[in-house]
Amino acid sequence: HFGGSLFAMCDPFHALILIKQLGPGYVVWDKSATIDFLRPGRGVVTATMEIPETEVAAIREQSASGAAVEPVFVVEVVDQERLVVARVTKTLHVKKRVAADPASDG
């Protein structure tokens, strides 16, 4: 596998998972990502992306005041023998949406 394909297979999922888990009251952006290639990825490779509910709850709590939170997620890409071929680190930017102030309209 080319490095770009290994990176692309992991790219959007943490942001998409978090958008779904947090709901429309939050802004979720990709902030940064890195990939470390550890060995050649040959044959079928897989990766599992998940965000435990406890981590989602912590993000909600940390962002409750309107402060930005930048959670970091690490996912391993493994081959058919479950050997790690690459490690992807994703940093997201999460912030609670602020309701518009009706007094400031016009």
Q: Residue 80 belongs to what domain range?
A: 3-98
Residue 72, in any domain of the structure: yes
SS3 content of the chain, % helix, strand, coil (to 5): 30, 35, 35
pTM for the full model?
0.84
Tell me the per-residue pLDDT of 26-57, one tens digit each, with 9 for 90 and over. Answer: 999 999 999 999 999 889 999 999 999 999 99
What are the C-alpha distances in Å from 48 to residues 11, 13, 54, 70, 95?
12, 10, 18, 21, 25
Residue 100 has a pLDDT of 53
Residue 106, in any domain of the structure: no
Query: How many structural domains does the chain have?
Result: 1
Residue 32, in any domain of the structure: yes
pLDDT at 104 over 60: no
Where residue 78 sits, what CATH number does that domain have? 3.10.129.10
Q: What is the mean pLDDT of residues 73-87?
A: 96
Q: Where residue 1 falls among pLDDT bands split at 50, 70, 90?
A: low
